[in-house]
């Protein structure tokens, strides 16, 4: 009996594939424009146009010749689709629609050149994925569809990467740091979309990787501070000088929040080391433009100006956070990377806290106080593997320095330096937190009574 049912099913699917395309519950053919796929969710400018059935998808399409829907059936209007006449179940109908859309997306990728072209490719894969996901559990096609999702999602990720690469604006003139340029674009876009955040995270790569802004928002909401917005404006290599310049000169007073959390460590305050990041900014044409009173502008390069191999974009999330999934394990980490002892680390040797970096801290604290903006410094955790006989004493000096500066200059202080010395799973390397540590730290900060969360809630 079971064999007979499967035989009938196979025959039915064969007849279905010969007769035509399934009725499409979301997408329909336009009677006035044959060959155009329309959607109530898709504006007319984003309609997906059919392309010739030729060529191969350069990124390894999951679609093969066997999955392509016959041309005659594909071009037939949906209101006369033959599956309505034969009453095919949802599984085969959804699967055939997904295959058709995947074929079209594969072929559109062959001629895609601009961000708009790749938007259409990505849209096709999204629609195909939606059909696969719509196949109900219990249908015979479900297992195949779920496995095909992996391929479809991979192709979607490629299309999305291409549209981001080609459609990402550039800062003109540049500020001398690719990550700073990208963070500025992202922050101004965030402000335009959501508004000025209530909390701004600043600092070097240690905060960029180390505090998940969205996780902090969620944790604050769970603690009763609903609706607070948080943005991570971390920049690789940012010292006290860089943070002071960003807050006072790069951002306008109207773009600043009511609370700034500066999360970092001693390296950002070493006045004895060369401040390469600050030097790069000062030497940039963008810095000179700001000095003349101009603001950076953003532009999209034309198709003819696109570089064949542009610098890769940093994979920041919508809140400026850069998640790292690596987990630090001393037993394996140093098989890939050299172990640099503190006595050979030029970020610590020589080391002096007095000087230009402390002057920058003084200027920043005074500037923020004059505008009633609260500042809290968070001394981020380090592993015991990192705090060796050279770095350990320096970090202890820095802790005392922070206490003195906090009392003298009136900013808040939260010191987490030694809380996770052996919790290696929270770190991506000896001195940077990974996304797991960043999420846990965000929850910890949301419950931290040394941070004046209440003043934000009272002003809303």
Into how many domains does the chain fold?
Answer: 2
Residue 460 is predicted with a pLDDT of 57
Tens digit of each residue's pLDDT (9 = 90 or more) over 272-284: 999 999 999 999 9
- Section 292-313 average pLDDT: 63
- What element of type H or E holds 36? strand 36-38
Residue 299 is predicted with a pLDDT of 67
Q: Are 154 and 204 within one domain?
A: no
In this model, does residue 195 exceed pLDDT 80? yes
Residue 39 is predicted with a pLDDT of 34
Q: Are 339 and 439 within one domain?
A: yes
> Quick one: tokens of 398?
């820095």
Of 74, 282, 296, nearest to 173 by C-alpha is 296
Q: Are 101 and 41 within one domain?
A: yes
CATH number at residue 225: 3.40.50.1110
Q: Are 78 and 151 within one domain?
A: yes
In this model, does residue 1 exceed pLDDT 50? no
Lowest mean pLDDT among 65-79, 171-185, 194-208: 65-79
In this model, does residue 61 exceed pLDDT 60? no
Tens digit of each residue's pLDDT (9 = 90 or more) over 64-84: 333 333 333 333 334 333 343
Residue 56 is predicted with a pLDDT of 32
Of 282, 209, 210, 276, nearest to 239 by C-alpha is 276
Q: Are 291 and 162 within one domain?
A: no
Q: Are 107 and 186 within one domain?
A: no
For residues 457 and 439, give the distance between their C-alpha atoms in angstroms, rounded to a whole number. Answer: 22
In this model, does residue 297 exceed pLDDT 80? no
Residue 20 is predicted with a pLDDT of 39
Q: Are 309 and 406 within one domain?
A: yes
Q: Are 163 and 179 within one domain?
A: no
Quickly state the pLDDT bin for 300 (edges 50, 70, 90).
low
Q: Coil, helix or strand for 245?
A: helix
Quickly state the pLDDT bin for 38 (edges 50, 70, 90).
very low
Q: Are 203 and 100 within one domain?
A: no
In this model, does residue 319 exceed pLDDT 60? yes
Tell me which of 128, 151, 167 is where a domain ends. Answer: 167
In this model, does residue 215 exceed pLDDT 60? yes
In this model, does residue 37 exceed pLDDT 90? no
Tell me which of 105, 137, 167 is where a domain ends. Answer: 167
Q: How far is CA 109 from CA 60, 102, 299, 381, in A?
A: 11, 11, 25, 46
CB atoms inside a 10 Å sphere around CB 52: 8
Residue 374 is predicted with a pLDDT of 98
Q: Are 390 and 302 within one domain?
A: yes
Measure the N-to-C terminal CA separation of the chain; round to a whole number of Å. 68
Residue 84 is predicted with a pLDDT of 34
Q: Are 184 and 118 within one domain?
A: no
For residues 28 and 41, give the distance between their C-alpha atoms in angstroms, rounded to a whole number. Answer: 11
Structural domain span for residue 96: 2-167
For residues 294 and 66, give the distance between their C-alpha atoms in angstroms, rounded to a whole number. Answer: 59
What is the average pLDDT value for the chain, to the nearest integer?
Answer: 81
Residue 173 is predicted with a pLDDT of 83
Tens digit of each residue's pLDDT (9 = 90 or more) over 155-170: 998 988 887 777 677 7
User: With pLDDT > 70 as the criterion, what percentage of the chain qualifies?
Assistant: 76
- Section 282-290 average pLDDT: 93
Lowest mean pLDDT among 171-180, 225-234, 238-247, 320-329: 171-180
Q: Are 61 and 127 within one domain?
A: yes
Tell me which of 146, 167, 188 is where a domain ends. Answer: 167
163, HSE (Cβ side, Cα atoms, 13 Å): 16
Residue 236 is predicted with a pLDDT of 96
More confident residue, 297 or 287: 287
Q: The whole model's pTM is what?
A: 0.72
Beta bridge mates, 413? 377
Residue 302 is predicted with a pLDDT of 53
Quickly state the pLDDT bin for 350 (edges 50, 70, 90).
very high
Q: Which residue is associated with the tokens 């604290």? A: 365
């Amino acid at each position: 009996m079971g064999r007979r049912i499967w035989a009938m099913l196979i025959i039915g699917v064969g007849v279905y594939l010969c007769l035509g395309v399934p009725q499409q519950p979301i997408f329909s053919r336009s009677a006035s424009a044959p060959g155009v796929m329309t959607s109530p969710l898709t504006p007319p400018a984003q309609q997906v146009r059919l392309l010739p059935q030729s060529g191969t998808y350069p990124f390894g399409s999951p679609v093969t010749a066997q999955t392509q829907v016959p041309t005659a059936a594909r071009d037939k209007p949906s209101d006369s689709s033959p599956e309505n006449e034969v009453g095919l179940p949802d599984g085969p109908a959804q699967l055939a629609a997904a295959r058709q859309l995947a074929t079209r997306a594969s072929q559109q990728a062959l001629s895609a050149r601009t961000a708009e072209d790749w938007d259409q490719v990505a849209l096709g894969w999204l629609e195909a994925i939606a059909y696969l996901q719509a196949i109900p559990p219990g249908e015979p096609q479900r297992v195949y569809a779920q496995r095909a999702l992996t391929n479809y999602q991979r192709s979607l990720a490629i299309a999305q990467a291409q549209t981001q690469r080609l459609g990402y604006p550039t800062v003109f003139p540049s500020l001398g740091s690719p990550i700073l340029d990208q963070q500025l674009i992202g922050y101004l876009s965030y402000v335009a979309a959501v508004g000025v955040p209530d909390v701004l995270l600043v600092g070097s790569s240690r905060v960029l990787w180390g505090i998940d802004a969205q996780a902090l928002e969620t944790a604050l909401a769970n603690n009763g501070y609903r609706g607070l917005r948080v943005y991570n404006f971390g920049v690789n290599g940012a010292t006290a000088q860089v943070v002071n310049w960003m807050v006072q000169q790069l951002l306008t007073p109207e773009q600043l929040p009511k609370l700034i959390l500066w999360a970092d460590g001693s390296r950002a305050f070493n006045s004895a080391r060369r401040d390469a990041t600050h030097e790069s900014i000062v030497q940039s044409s963008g810095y000179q433009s700001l000095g003349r009173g101009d603001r950076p502008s953003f532009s999209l390069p034309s198709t003819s100006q696109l570089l064949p191999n542009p610098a890769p974009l940093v994979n920041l999330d919508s809140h400026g956070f850069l998640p790292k999934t690596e987990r630090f394990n001393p037993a394996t980490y140093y098989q890939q990377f050299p172990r640099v002892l503190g006595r050979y680390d030029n970020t610590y040797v020589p080391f002096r806290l007095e000087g230009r970096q402390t002057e920058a801290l003084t200027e920043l604290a005074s500037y923020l106080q004059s505008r009633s903006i609260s500042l809290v410094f968070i001394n981020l955790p380090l592993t015991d593997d990192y705090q060796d006989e050279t770095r350990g004493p320096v970090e202890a000096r820095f802790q005392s320095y922070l206490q003195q500066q906090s009392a003298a200059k009136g900013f808040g202080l939260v010191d987490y330096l030694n809380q996770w010395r052996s919790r290696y799973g929270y770190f991506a390397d000896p001195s940077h937190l990974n996304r797991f540590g960043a999420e846990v730290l965000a929850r910890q900060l949301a419950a931290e009574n040394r941070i004046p969360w209440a003043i934000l809630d009272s002003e809303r």
